[in-house]
C-alpha cells in the first residue's frame, strides 16, 4: 500500500529535527506515513549534502516525497559569524538547491522552509516592543539572519514559479536536547554542573536585560508537522511567525532556573557571552498561523525551562 504521506526531513539529527521526527512518528496518522530522516545521526536513513545539487536531486527522485521539511542549516548565530561563507553556502544555496529540485522532480510536493525571527533584525527596534507581524520588513543584523532572510525571499519568489511552499519564522525556542550555545541551556548546564559539585556556585551570563519571545520546541515542531501533513488549505505560498506574543526578560528565565535549583548562586557577566549585536525586545504576532493551521503554543515557559534543567541534570550525572 502506498503511504499517504512521504515526508523528507533534512537536518533530522539536529535538536529540532530530532523532536520533529519523534512527533511525526507518534501521530495517529503514522500508519499512512513514510518518513525519510536525513542527517548524520544513527536514526537517519540518508545523509546528503544540500549544497550538492546532484545529491539533492537523486534523493528527491528516488524518494518522491509529498512534503519536505527543510531544517538543515548552520543554525547557531555564533557559528555563522565565524564562517560566513559556509553559512551562505548551506543556508542560502543549500535551500535554493533543495527547492529547485522539488520543483523539477516532485512539483506537487509541499516545501516547508524553516527560517528565523532573526530575519527581522532592526525591525524589532523599529517596532519599539510591539509584536512584529509577517508584513514587517526583513532587516537582518547578523550573518545568520541575513542568510535566512535571503533564503526566505528566494522561496517566496519560487512560489510564483509553482513551488508549493510554506515559510515559517520561529522565535526563540528551547527544550530538552538543545546545545548549550543557546541561552536557556547555557544557564541550565552551568546550574547542573554547580549542583553536581563540578564547578563553584558561579554562573556566567551575557545580556540579561533583553526581552525575548520564548517557545517550547515541542510546540514549534507541531506546526511543522501540521504543514507537512497538508493542513491549512490556504497555507501554500504563505509565511507564518511562530511566537507566543509575549516577551520575557532573559533575567526572568535565569531566576526560574535558580529558584528550581534552590542553590545560592552568584551571577557574573562574562564579556565573551555578550552578543556583538543585540536588540532590546523581540516579540512576534502569530495570529496568522492560528487562523490557517489552528496552531498556538501549549507549553508554559516554566515547564519548558524545568524540562531543560532536568535534561542537563541527566546529562551531567550520566555515567561517564
Mean pLDDT for each consecutive 10-residue tract of the chain (320 residues)? 84 97 85 89 91 96 97 93 97 98 97 98 95 98 97 98 98 97 95 95 91 98 96 93 97 96 87 72 97 97 98 88
Q: State the total domains in the chain.
A: 1
pLDDT of residue 270: 78
pLDDT of residue 276: 62
In a domain, 96, yes or no: yes
Single pTM value for the model:
0.95
In a domain, 316, yes or no: no
Beta carbons of 301 and 219 less than 8 angstroms apart: no
In a domain, 159, yes or no: yes
pLDDT of residue 27: 81
The DSSP code for 244 is: -
Q: Percent helix, strand, coil in the chain (nearest 5)? A: 45, 15, 35
Question: How far is 132 from 115, CA to CA, in rounded Å?
Answer: 15
pLDDT of residue 269: 85
In a domain, 262, yes or no: no
In a domain, 318, yes or no: no
CB burial string 233-271: b at 16+ within 10 A, e below: eebeebbbbbbbbebbebebbbebbbeebeeebeeeeee
pLDDT of residue 31: 61
Own/partner long-range contacts of 300-304 (Cβ < 8 Å, ≥24 apart): 301/214, 301/248, 301/253, 301/256, 302/256, 303/216, 304/174, 304/175, 304/184, 304/214, 304/215, 304/216
The three-state secondary structure class of 98 is helix
Q: Tell me, what CATH number does 101's domain have?
A: 3.40.50.720
pLDDT of residue 317: 87
Q: Count of alpha carbons within 13 Å of 131, Cβ hemisphere only? A: 17
In a domain, 313, yes or no: no
In a domain, 50, yes or no: yes
Amino acid at each position: 500500500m502506498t503511504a499517504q504521506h512521504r515526508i523528507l526531513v533534512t537536518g533530522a539529527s539536529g535538536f529540532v529535527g530530532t523532536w520533529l521526527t519523534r512527533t511525526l512518528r507518534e501521530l495517529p496518522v503514522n500508519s499512512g506515513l513514510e518518513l525519510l530522516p536525513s542527517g548524520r545521526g544513527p536514526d537517519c536513513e540518508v545523509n546528503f549534502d544540500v549544497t550538492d545539487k546532484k545529491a539533492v536531486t537523486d534523493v528527491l527522485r528516488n524518494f518522491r516525497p509529498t512534503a519536505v521539511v527543510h531544517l538543515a542549516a548552520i543554525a547557531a548565530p555564533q557559528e555563522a559569524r565565524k564562517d560566513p561563507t559556509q553559512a551562505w553556502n548551506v543556508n542560502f544555496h543549500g535551500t535554493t538547491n533543495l527547492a529547485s529540485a522539488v520543483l523539477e522532480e516532485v512539483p506537487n510536493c509541499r516545501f516547508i522552509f524553516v527560517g528565523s525571527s532573526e530575519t527581522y533584525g532592526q525591525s524589532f527596534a523599529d517596532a519599539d516592543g510591539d509584536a512584529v507581524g509577517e508584513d514587517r520588513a526583513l532587516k537582518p543584523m547578523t550573518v545568520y539572519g541575513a542568510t535566512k532572510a535571503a533564503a526566505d525571499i528566494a522561496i517566496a519568489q519560487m512560489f510564483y514559479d509553482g513551488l508549493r511552499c510554506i515559510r515559517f519564522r520561529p522565535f526563540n525556542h528551547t527544550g530538552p536536547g538543545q546545545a548549550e550555545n543557546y541561552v536557556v541551556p547555557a544557564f541550565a548546564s552551568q546550574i547542573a554542573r554547580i549542583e553536581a559539585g563540578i564547578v563553584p556556585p558561579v554562573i556566567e551570563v551575557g545580556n540579561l536585560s533583553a526581552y525575548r519571545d520564548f517557545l517550547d520546541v515541542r510546540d514549534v515542531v507541531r506546526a511543522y508537522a501540521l504543514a507537512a501533513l497538508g493542513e491549512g488549505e490556504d497555507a501554500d505560498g504563505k509565511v507564518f511567525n511562530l511566537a507566543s506574543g509575549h516577551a520575557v526578560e532573559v533575567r526572568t528565565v535565569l531566576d526560574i532556573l535558580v529558584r528550581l535549583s534552590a542553590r545560592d548562586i552568584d551571577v557574573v557577566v562574562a564579556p565573551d557571552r555578550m552578543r556583538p549585536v543585540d536588540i532590546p525586545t523581540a516579540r512576534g504576532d502569530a495570529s496568522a498561523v492560528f487562523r490557517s493551521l489552528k496552531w498556538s503554543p501549549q507549553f508554559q515557559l516554566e515547564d519548558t525551562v524545568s524540562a531543560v534543567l532536568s535534561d542537563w541534570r541527566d546529562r551531567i550525572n550520566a555515567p561517564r
